[in-house]
Amino acid sequence: MSAPRRGGWSSWRDSSGPKPPPPAHGIKIKTVGTTWWGQRWTAALEKLSPAYASRLARGKTYARTGRVSDLAIATGAVQASVTGSRPRPYAITITLAPLDAATWTAAIATLAAKARFAAELLAGEMPKDVDEAFCAGGASLFPSKPGELLTTCSCPDHANPCKHVAATHYVLGDAFDRDPFLLFELRGRTREEVLAATRAARGAEPAVPVEVTPAVRLGKLREVDYDAWRGPRPSLKLSFAAPERHAAVVASLGKPGSWREKASPAELLLLLVQSASTQAIAIALRAAEVENPGVPDEESM
């Protein structure tokens, strides 16, 4: 809650000159709530109190025009700067108490017990009903009580939230839309810590590293040039080699909570996966022979 200050809006607003422009590195947002967790964040703020909900709209223009900058999220706290009516930006702090260790332990146990939860988290996705795991322990990833979310702003406005805090809420919601795992970090656990704890709870092997494909930026292209090469054709060399580990993805998920067999799912499926892989390579090599008859494949060279 913003600390009470002397004077009202009319007594502190500087009307002696034009408002400073937004900073060049300001964060401009278009729409908050493009994901379910972004919508849930805004809805949670609106449920804190009718007064809080009515004042949130005051910050939309600031958020859309890039007046919020230097947003930083850490365990239990968010900091930002907001360029308002005065030359010096206002300092914003939003605090949301981290969940205690017992709550995290119970929530991770619930997440690990459901294969769907574990699979989506280990794939880097946020399950839609992930908050059920926290609600089962009497908690939530999102603020649910008026005194749970505390805010401060260096401006003299005593309203809660002031327009600077409200603008920061919208920019924070946009950040959550882009990276839902920031919710975990705000509540006390990094994404890596949650994933590691989930794997450990399921007795899973470390996940297989995934290569990230660099982003490709396309320039302007005419329709007549669509099929034309833009440079020398690359020299392609294909390899159909057996994987170093079979059933690696199955092994990374570990055993389901209801599993009673002595052998793990990966151990039972290993021969089937290996056989399927071998047949897939054989089919690929046969297809290459049909397409390029008389050309020896890499395995025979």
| pLDDT tens per residue across span 101-150 | 999 998 988 888 888 887 887 776 778 888 888 887 788 888 887 788 89
Q: What is the model's pLDDT at position 230?
A: 67
**Amino acid letter, residue 220:** K
Domain ranges of the chain: 9-202, 239-300
CA distances from 285 to 154, 234, 272, 279, 301 (A): 68, 21, 20, 10, 13
At 273, the pLDDT band (50, 70, 90 cuts) reads confident
Which stretches within the chain are classed as H helix? 9-12, 36-46, 50-56, 60-64, 101-113, 115-122, 131-135, 163-178, 182-186, 191-202, 248-253, 265-291
Looking at per-residue confidence, does 256 or 114 come out higher? 114
Q: If you average pLDDT over residues 201-223, what whole number do you get?
A: 58
As a whole number, mean pLDDT of residues 97-102 equals: 90
Whether the per-residue pLDDT at 297 is higher than 60: the answer is no
Contacts of 271 (CB under 8 A, 6+ apart): none
Neighbouring residues of 276: CB distance < 8 A, sequence distance ≥ 6: none
- For CA atoms 18, 23, 27, 29, give the dihedral sign: positive
Q: Which residue has the higher pLDDT, 262 or 108?
A: 108
How would you label 260-293 residue by residue, b for 16+ Cβ within 10 Å and e otherwise?
A: eeeebbbeebbeebeeeeeeeeeeeeeeeeeeee
C-alpha distances out from residue 136 to 141, 258, 275, 283, Å: 12, 19, 42, 49
pLDDT at 94 over 90: yes
Which residues, 6+ apart, have CB-to-CB distance to 44 below 8 Å? 140, 142, 143, 144
Q: How many residues does the chain have?
A: 301
- 65-74 pLDDT tens trace: 999 999 999 9
Between CA 163 and CA 152 the distance in angstroms is 12
- For the segment 163-191, what is each residue's pLDDT rounded down to a tens digit? 999 999 999 988 988 888 888 999 999 98
pLDDT greater than 50 at residue 6: no
Query: In this structure, are residues 150 and 94 in contact, taking their beta carbons and an 8 Å threshold?
Result: yes
Give the HSE-up count for residue 268: Cα atoms under 13 Å, Cβ half-sphere.
Answer: 9
Neighbours of 108 (CB within 10 A): 25
The tokens describing 287, both together, are: 């297809």
Mean pLDDT of the chain: 78
C-alpha count within 13 angstroms, C-beta hemisphere, residue 177: 16
Read off the tokens for 231: 């440079």
- Determine the angle formed by the axes of helices 101-113 and 191-202, rounding to 10 degrees: 60
Q: Are 149 and 98 in contact (CB under 8 A)?
A: no
Please choose, from the candidates 131, 122, 124, the residue with its C-alpha nearest in 3D space to the C-alpha of residue 250.
122
